[in-house]
Amino acid sequence: MTNVAVIGSQWGDEGKGKVVDWLSERAQVVVRFQGGHNAGHTLVIDGVTYKLSLLPSGIVRPGKLSIIGNGVVIDPFALLDEIANVSKLGVEISPKNLRIAENAPLILPVHRRVDQVAEAIRGKGKIGTTGRGIGPAYEDKIARRAIRVCDLEDEDLLRDKLENLLVYHNALLKAADAAPMTVEEILKPLMEVAPKILPFVEPVWRLLDTARREGKRILFEGAQGAMLDVDHGTYPYVTSSNTLAGTATIGSGMGMGGIGYVLGITKAYTTRVGSGPFPTELMDDIGAKIGKIGHEFGTVTGRPRRCGWFDAVMVRQAVKICGINGIALTKVDILDGFDTIKICVGYKHGGKTYDYLPASMKIQAELEPVYEEMPGWQGITHGKKSWADLPAQAIKYIRRIEELIECQVALLSTSPKREDTILVRDPFID
């Protein structure tokens, strides 16, 4: 048996929520290890739709322990709202099934204001932030001025830290002709929510070590995708955290040897929300058709996703930098009925060809895809639960993807429903 880390291999929105929910049936512990409430996972279970942002996907399953790790930046107000909304759908949430790392950084109202002001100043150079304060909160963490969950226990310490924090952020707001914030307008609401947050708090690294020694299966749930990684993604059009599989250890406190299998969630085509390069983007009727059939709208923002053909170059790169052992291929059914399907197998730029995504911002923006065409299929993959029931041409498409990305399919998702999943190789017993 082994513990599994689930990460996105594209620009997020690959269907991680459903896959993590499906895998969590085999796990006892589910851990979020990076990102904030800018990432959303949608689960459809017995006709009920759950939209999660901070809560691990395992929270909807009875008897599972869900953990929010130290690598997550937590908006305490958004978290309490999410707990309330999910509870209304019949999910019981208490310190018995949800624990929060004591050393996780908090997102404060000043972070949201700074985030929105900074994005407005960028004008045409916007990076596509959700304006929820994620970036500024991570910035404070690295600059060693962050307010952390454990600070909610001590009002005097919290006041001192807020005074130090606002010296920096109010200077930026003043320079942008934006209203500054006071210590009291942040401190008072924090003190009001502290008694609701603190019962969930624990040194989760120790909790995970105990679970590991007891032989419990642990599932690590990533947010966003590899190409949004602050180091390896399409910088600067990325998120503010590391989204690669290695972050699962840092963002949870689990030692390096605690993760045995990395599952890369991979959509059968490509989507992206917000600004940034997108070599295979389709600005035509086909792209619109994919978006309509696939219901491609952001879970958190509601923004329509940009759609394009499958980019094998990008996913192969994600496989390498994340150490992906197998992929879960999702939304194959959205391609049902297409006469021709294209796969990007390389890039062209300035007379040069690339078999990888170069780091240069300028080159990324000007890359032209090199396509390989395949016949589509007229049969139906939607809702299929067996490999034998798939159309022959759909199987050929999947096999070609495996060849190009140099990684095998471990799971195949054929609809948003939990039960419409074909297991090829079980990551927990690989």
Q: Give pLDDT tens digits for 284-312.
A: 999 999 999 998 986 666 678 999 999 99
Contact 117, 176 (CB under 8 A): yes
The answer to whether residues 126 and 17 belong to one domain is no
Identify the active-site residue in 37, 41, 111, 232.
41
Q: Which of 179, 197, 215 lies at the terminal end of a domain, its last residue?
A: 197
The answer to whether residue 375 sits within a structural domain is yes
Q: What is the CATH number of the domain that holds 172?
A: 1.10.300.10
Q: Which of 176, 197, 218 lies at the terminal end of a domain, its last residue?
A: 197
Kindly state the tokens that stand for 172. 């930026």
Q: What pLDDT, on a 0 to 100 scale, did the predictor assign at position 126?
A: 64
The answer to whether residues 212 and 242 belong to one domain is yes
The answer to whether residues 130 and 227 belong to one domain is no
Q: What is the CATH number of the domain that holds 360?
A: 3.90.170.10
The answer to whether residue 208 sits within a structural domain is yes
Does 41 participate in catalysis according to the annotation? yes
Amino acid, res. 424: V
Q: What pLDDT, on a 0 to 100 scale, did the predictor assign at position 124?
A: 66
The answer to whether residue 76 sits within a structural domain is yes
Domain containing 122: what range? 109-197
Q: What pLDDT, on a 0 to 100 scale, did the predictor assign at position 160?
A: 96
The answer to whether residues 192 and 210 belong to one domain is no
Q: What pLDDT, on a 0 to 100 scale, did the predictor assign at position 125?
A: 63
| pLDDT > 90 in the chain, percent | 78
Of 254, 75, 207, 248, whose CA–CA distance to 149 is shortest?
Answer: 75
The answer to whether residues 69 and 208 belong to one domain is yes
Phi, psi angles (nearest 5°) of residue 283:
-100, 35
Q: What pLDDT, on a 0 to 100 scale, did the predictor assign at position 43?
A: 77
Neighbours of 342 (CB within 10 A): 18
The answer to whether residues 16 and 155 belong to one domain is no
The answer to whether residues 339 and 326 belong to one domain is yes
Q: What pLDDT, on a 0 to 100 scale, did the predictor assign at position 15?
A: 87
The answer to whether residues 113 and 211 belong to one domain is no
Kindly state the tokens that stand for 186. 């942040």
**Cα 313–chain centre separation:** 20
Helix (H, G, I), strand (E, B) or coil at 64: coil
- Per residue in 86-123, pLDDT (tens digit) is 999 999 999 999 999 999 999 999 999 998 888 777 76
The answer to whether residues 237 and 336 belong to one domain is no
Contact 16, 41 (CB under 8 A): yes
Q: Which of 150, 171, 197 lies at the terminal end of a domain, its last residue?
A: 197
* Distance set, CA 138 to CA 145, 147, 168, 309, 422 (Å): 10, 11, 14, 33, 38
Kindly state the tokens that stand for 375. 């016949």
The answer to whether residues 208 and 186 belong to one domain is no
Neighbours of 28 (CB within 10 A): 16
Contact 128, 273 (CB under 8 A): yes
The strand pairing partners of 413, in sequence order, are: 421
**Cα 257–chain centre separation:** 23
The answer to whether residue 104 sits within a structural domain is no
Phi, psi angles (nearest 5°) of residue 41:
-120, 130
Kindly state the tokens that stand for 50. 């759950």
The answer to whether residues 239 and 305 belong to one domain is no
How does the average pLDDT of the chain come out, rounded? 93
The answer to whether residues 311 and 405 belong to one domain is yes
What is the chain's pLDDT, residue by residue, as a tens digit (430 residues)?
689 999 999 999 898 888 888 898 889 999 999 999 876 777 777 778 888 889 998 898 899 999 999 999 999 999 999 999 999 999 999 999 999 999 999 999 999 999 888 877 776 666 666 778 999 999 999 999 999 999 999 999 999 999 999 999 999 899 888 889 999 999 999 999 999 999 999 999 999 999 999 999 999 999 899 999 999 999 999 998 999 999 999 999 998 889 999 999 999 999 998 889 999 999 999 999 999 999 898 666 667 899 999 999 999 999 999 999 999 999 999 999 999 999 999 999 999 999 999 999 999 999 999 999 999 999 999 999 999 999 999 999 999 999 999 999 999 999 988 889 999 998 988 6
Contact 110, 169 (CB under 8 A): yes
Q: What pLDDT, on a 0 to 100 scale, did the predictor assign at position 308?
A: 97
The number of domains in the chain is 3
